[in-house]
């Protein structure tokens, strides 16, 4: 979870990744730690070394927008890292975490993903829990699970948890380290926007305790919003797939996302998806009417 130490940890991680020569600083003598010294970064950002030290040590949580922007420029942060830094630097009022209320996908959203039956589609909430999937999405990412599991909040699959703790799902990714890095980086960004969400806190705590790989990645503060691009999968039934991921954000539920996976027409991956789709007749369709009746 993002706590009061996260800002300092993030600044130290990025400061440690910059070499003096990268930013035009001449280094003299032995350096006890890698990266820039605090006073060097402060000088680059145009702030006092004392003030920067207080910021990094968590003794000041009211940095102005101009100071945060100056630090972002000095650290050469990416757009996603810059947004993350601003999220961390916002003053917050201490309050207990919000209850982790189960999210729901609207019936119209469920009908939409079922209508695009030619491609796998999955609806996820802000905690990366699967709120709904069309049958091809289920067969692609979680065919070993009950297709109706997203309709039962206590049993919902979670794509990040599955990536680290579900061997069947993990085996889908021949480049698992890349997939894991993307997942953690995206989760970092989401957590920074919802710092008081109990569900996210519980997810981070569980993964940190159960997966040394997750704990190691989390500690490095990767930050990036991986919402599109190529995804290489190795499916146990249809083999290798090179797919393109596109993510749609729902306007009235901005933290709900529809993940859609497509393949180039005529490619072997497209043929593999068609082969997977041919199994639809033997798979029970999710019962959206049950989900609709369960809505308040």
What is residue 227's three-state secondary structure?
Answer: coil
Give the homologous superfamily in CATH for domain 6-89. Answer: lambda repressor-like DNA-binding domains (1.10.260.40)
Strand order in the sheet with 229-235: 130-133, 121-124, 253-262, 239-250, 229-235
Number of H helices, E strands in the chain: 14, 5
pLDDT above 60: residue 93: no
The per-residue pLDDT for range 136-167, each reduced to its tens digit, is 999 999 999 999 999 999 999 999 999 999 99
Domain boundaries, the chain: 6-89, 107-294
Q: What is the DSSP letter of 283?
A: S
Tell which CATH classification among 3.30.450.180, 3.30.365.10, 3.40.1000.10, 3.10.450.50 matches the domain 107-294: 3.30.450.180
Check residue 61 and give its pLDDT. Answer: 66
In the predicted model, what is the mean pLDDT of residues 104-133?
Answer: 94
- Which range of 33-37, 68-72, 156-160 scores highest in mean pLDDT? It is 156-160
What is residue 231's three-state secondary structure?
Answer: strand
- Nearby residues of 44 by Cβ (< 8 Å), 6 or more positions away: 23, 25, 36, 74
Looking only at the bridges linking them, the beta strands covering 121-124 and 229-235 are unpaired
Q: Which of 1-5, 59-63, 99-103 is least confident?
A: 1-5
Q: Please tell me the distance from the alpha carbon of residue 292 to that of residue 106, in angstroms, as a whole number.
A: 8
* Token pair recorded at residue 35: 């990266």
On the question of a common fold for 6-89 and 107-294, the answer reads no
């Amino acid at each position: 979870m993002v706590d009061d130490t996260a800002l300092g940890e993030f600044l130290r991680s990025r400061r440690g990744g910059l070499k003096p020569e990268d930013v035009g600083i001449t280094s003299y003598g032995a350096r006890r730690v890698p990266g820039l010294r605090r006073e060097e970064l402060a000088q680059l950002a145009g702030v006092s070394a004392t003030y920067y030290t207080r910021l990094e040590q968590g003794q000041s949580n009211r940095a102005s927008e101009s100071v945060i922007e100056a630090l972002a420029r000095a650290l050469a942060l990416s757009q996603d890292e810059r947004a993350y830094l601003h999220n961390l630097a916002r003053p917050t009022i201490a309050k207990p975490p919000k209850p982790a209320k189960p999210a729901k996908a609207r019936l119209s959203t469920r009908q939409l993903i079922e209508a695009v039956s030619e491609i796998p589609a999955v609806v996820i909430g802000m905690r990366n829990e699967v709120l709904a999937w069309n049958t091809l999405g289920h067969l692609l990412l979680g065919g070993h699970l009950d297709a109706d599991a997203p309709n039962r909040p206590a049993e919902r699959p979670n794509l990040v948890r599955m990536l680290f703790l579900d061997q069947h799902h993990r085996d889908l990714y021949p480049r698992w380290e890349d997939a894991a890095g993307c997942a953690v980086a995206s989760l970092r960004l989401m957590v920074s926007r919802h710092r008081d969400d109990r569900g996210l806190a519980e997810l981070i705590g569980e993964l940190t305790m159960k997966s040394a790989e997750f704990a190691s990645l989390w500690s490095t503060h990767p930050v990036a919003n991986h919402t599109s691009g190529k995804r290489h999968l190795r499916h146990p039934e249809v083999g290798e797939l090179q797919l393109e991921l596109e993510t749609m954000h729902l306007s009235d539920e901005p933290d709900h996302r529809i993940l859609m996976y497509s393949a180039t027409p005529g490619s072997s991956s497209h043929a593999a998806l068609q082969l997977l789709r041919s199994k639809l007749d033997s798979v029970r369709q999710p019962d959206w009417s049950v989900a609709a009746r369960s809505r308040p």
